[in-house]
Amino acid sequence: MSDGAPASVGSGDAAAPEGAVLLGGITADEVQPLQLYRATMPNGTALCVGVHEGRFFAVKDYCPHAEFPLSEGTLYANGELECCWHGARFACASGKVLRGPAESDLVRFEVFAVNGDLYVRRGTAPLQSGGAA
Ligand code: FES
């Protein structure tokens, strides 16, 4: 598995995509493979952020089972995100629940790296592309 440096968009005059908001508490360069980070949207919503196979991902930072912060969990090399309280697992890029006790998928956001900053936008399309363009 190669989980190298995430792709970034823009060097100079790139702009954030329409509808995307700046993510506080983390920059693109700080995100390392197999690590999870807590970051905050301007409205105060906390997100769990990471990178997998060169693509950033972001999901709401609570487990749908009992609302434990996913940013305190584990990201595996296969892209599975595990909640460390009761062991639920999710696909980090799509947010799909893979193992209980959680029964709901995660709320996913698209992530864009622009000039070293991370921007997020609520993900709507089913994930194939998932993130940094
Ligand atoms: S709170 Fe995440 S598995 Fe229970």
Residue 35 maps to which CATH number?
A: 2.102.10.10
Q: Dihedral, CA atoms, 43, 20, 91, 32, nearest 10 degrees?
A: -90
pLDDT computed for residue 109 by the predictor: 96
- For residue 91, being part of any structural domain is answered with yes
Q: Given pLDDT bands bounded at 50, 70 and 90, which one contains residue 10?
A: very low
Closest ligand 1 atom to Cα of 66: 1
Question: Which of 64, 22, 14, 17 minimizes the C-alpha distance to 41?
Answer: 22
**Across 8-22, 61-75, 76-90, 96-110, least confident range:** 8-22
pLDDT computed for residue 6 by the predictor: 57
Distance from Cα 113 to the centre of ligand 1, integer Å:
29
Distance from Cα 84 to the centre of ligand 1, integer Å:
7
The amino acid at residue 8 is: S
Q: Which domain holds residue 64?
A: 21-122
Closest-CA residue, ligand 1 atom 3, reads 86
The 3-state DSSP class for residue 29 equals helix
- For residue 67, being part of any structural domain is answered with yes
Q: Across residues 8-31, what is the average pLDDT?
A: 81
Distance from Cα 102 to the centre of ligand 1, integer Å:
6
Residue 33 burial (C-beta neighbours within 10 Å; 0-12, 13-18, 19+): middle
Give the chain's length.
133
Which residues' Cβ are closer than 6 Å to ligand 1? 63, 65-66, 68, 83, 85-88, 101-102
Domain count, the chain: 1
- H/E run at residue 71: none
pLDDT surpasses 60 at 99: yes
Q: Across residues 49-77, what is the average pLDDT?
A: 97
pLDDT computed for residue 123 by the predictor: 77
pLDDT surpasses 80 at 98: yes
- For residue 129, being part of any structural domain is answered with no
Q: Across residues 90-106, what is the average pLDDT?
A: 97
Pocket test for ligand 1, best of 59, 61, 63, 81 (most atoms within 8 A of CB): 63
The 3-state DSSP class for residue 59 equals strand
pLDDT computed for residue 13 by the predictor: 53
Q: Across residues 12-37, what is the average pLDDT?
A: 90
Question: Which of 23, 67, 84, 68 minimizes the C-alpha distance to 49?
Answer: 23
pTM: 0.85
- For residue 131, being part of any structural domain is answered with no
Closest-CA residue, ligand 1 atom 4, reads 86
